[in-house]
Amino acid sequence: MLSFETGALFVARSTWRVFVAAFLVLLFVSVAVAQDPTSVTPENAHDRSFGAGWTCDDGYRLVDGACIAIVVPEDAFATERSYGKGWECRHGFKDVDESTCREVVVPPNAYLKATGEDWACDRGYRRVRNRCEVIESPENSFLSDDAYGSGWECDRGFSEEAGGCVTINVPENAYLTNKRYGPPWACDRGFVEKGGRCEPIVVPDNAFLVGGEFGPGWQCERGYEQDGNTCILIVPPQNAHIDRSGNRWACNRGFRMLGGQCVLAR
């Protein structure tokens, strides 16, 4: 068994060595065919700064062993990259058909973007096709930086309605919120919203106020549980204890609940 595994390992290593050797030979031949290091440097080329061989000058690319001029359109410049079209449009111009650089026409009340290939409207204007139109903001509003939508938002204390900004009616014992959605106001602590008003929260004995938008607004003290609008004392049965919530009981380890009592677990 050992000799079989050793033979298999030897065959695998030999196969890998043959593969690597064949790859290196192919790579060497490919490089030699593409460019003979001992050949004369062709026109529009120069010797490499390190190693053997030569490379095409800027504005030329290698085609079938010769350096062919790259046709750079007007308002463009040649790049040093050996991939792509070999040129890029100048700042303020845009490639339209892989052969032409067209000037980016910036309309009034707009500016050329940093990329140099497009434009954007000034603050207070919005883009509508090929022009910038002024944003008409209503009273009690301010310009927003949102490129979509109306372009303005209502001041604090106002809400958008029918294209304008109307006053938010905040009831007594309430305050304005910064929520973008839902009710624009919330009740003060100790009050709860009912029918658009803020009514006092009636806290029963053995309870305390809690926050949150849901529930009665109060919670029973530890050792008490809610029963309607009151808090009643919890009397755990034998072999039970007040659980981690503080408002229920649970059986001790080794016991299970059965009919309101804690019996031995079997």
Last residue of a domain, one of 156, 182, 200: 200
Residue 46 within any structural domain of the chain: no
Contacts of 168 (CB under 8 A, 6+ apart): 157, 158, 159, 176, 184, 185
Under a CB-based contact definition with an 8 Å cutoff, are residues 87 and 70 in contact?
yes
Q: Helix, strand, or coil here: 174?
A: strand
Residue 162 structural domain: 135-167
pTM of the model: 0.54
24-63: pLDDT as tens digits: 544 444 443 345 545 688 998 888 888 888 888 877 888 8
Q: What is the pLDDT of residue 40?
A: 85
158-210: pLDDT as tens digits: 999 999 999 999 999 999 998 877 889 999 999 999 999 999 999 999 999 99
Contacts of 53 (CB under 8 A, 6+ apart): 35, 37, 47
- Where is 14: in which H helix or E strand? helix 2-34
Residue 211 within any structural domain of the chain: no
144-172: pLDDT as tens digits: 987 677 889 999 999 999 999 999 999 99
120-153: pLDDT as tens digits: 999 999 999 999 999 999 999 999 987 677 889 9
Kindly tell me the burial class for residue 99, based on how many C-beta atoms sit within 10 Å of its own C-beta (0-12, 13-18, 19 or more): exposed
Contacts of 163 (CB under 8 A, 6+ apart): 138
Residue 49 within any structural domain of the chain: no
Work out how many domains the chain is built from and give that number: 2
